[in-house]
Amino acid sequence: MALKPVITARKDRRARTTHYQADLGPVTVSELDRATAGERCEAEVRAALERLERGPQIGQWRGHTYVIAPDVAGWCYWTSAFSSSNVRNSQRGSREDVENAALRHLAQITWTHDVEDDTAYVEGLPFSIRAGLVSYFAWQRTYKAARDAGHDDEQARQLAEGR
């Protein structure tokens, strides 16, 4: 049995069709013509089912857990960095892209100014996100130093951004 989207013509105040909306379960697509709306909706549902077949991935970094799971629109990640903080974020992209986002987020929320070597701190993370994290940590350090020196928020931001 093939599932087909329900396609509805959406109209403006003058009853002219502006676009077509295709709905299949939680997937909704809008396109200018009926055929494209239906095809794109079916393609998004197939992609969601393929993600579901791949299933979730559970990982740990520095004792903190993260989960990458399929979502209707792409992949989502969930992190548990501290016992009182649970974060869930949904986004489009490959599972690897979302895993990198989860790891980047974990590194950002677990990093503190007490870390002595930022480069060593990000060791073991994917190479593609390390430089951005080290840059982010440097920004945080410059901002904190400016605030500690008595600068207001705007001045500290400008100093941290090199303006």
> What does the pLDDT look like over 8-30, one tens digit per residue?
999 999 999 999 999 888 889 99
What pLDDT score was predicted for residue 4?
Answer: 87
Mean pLDDT across the chain, nearest whole number? 89
Helix (H) or strand (E) holding 8: strand 6-11
Domains in the chain, number: 3
Give the pLDDT mean for 19-46: 91
Among the candidates 90, 110, 130, a domain finishes at 110
Structural domain boundaries, residue 98: 55-110
**Average pLDDT value for residue range 75-91:** 71
Residue 1 falls inside a structural domain = no
- CA distances from residue 155 to 78, 134, 148 in whole angstroms, order as listed: 34, 22, 12
- State the pTM of this model: 0.65
CB atoms near residue 6 (< 10 Å): 10
- Residue 19: predicted pLDDT: 93
* pLDDT over 70 (residue 43): yes
Q: Looking at the predicted structure, is the pLDDT value of residue 1 above 50?
A: no
Rounded Cα distance between 116 and 114, Å, is 6
Same domain, yes or no: 45 and 86: no
Other residues' Cβ atoms within 10 Å of the Cβ of residue 135: 11
Residue at which a domain ends, from 68, 85, 110? 110
- DSSP for residue 123: T
pLDDT tens by residue, 113-150: 999 999 999 999 999 999 999 999 999 999 999 999 99
Distance of CA 161 to the CA centre of its chain: 24
Strands (E), 55-99: 57-61, 64-70, 75-82, 85-91
Same structural domain, 40 and 61: no
Query: Please, which pLDDT band fits residue 80 given cuts at 50, 70 and 90?
Result: confident
Q: Are residues 72 and 93 in the same domain?
A: yes
- 44, part of any domain: yes
Which pLDDT band, with edges at 50, 70 and 90, does 82 fall under? low
Residue 149 inside a domain? The answer is yes
How far apart are the C-alpha atoms of 112 and 104, rounded to whole Å? Answer: 14
At 138, which amino acid appears? A
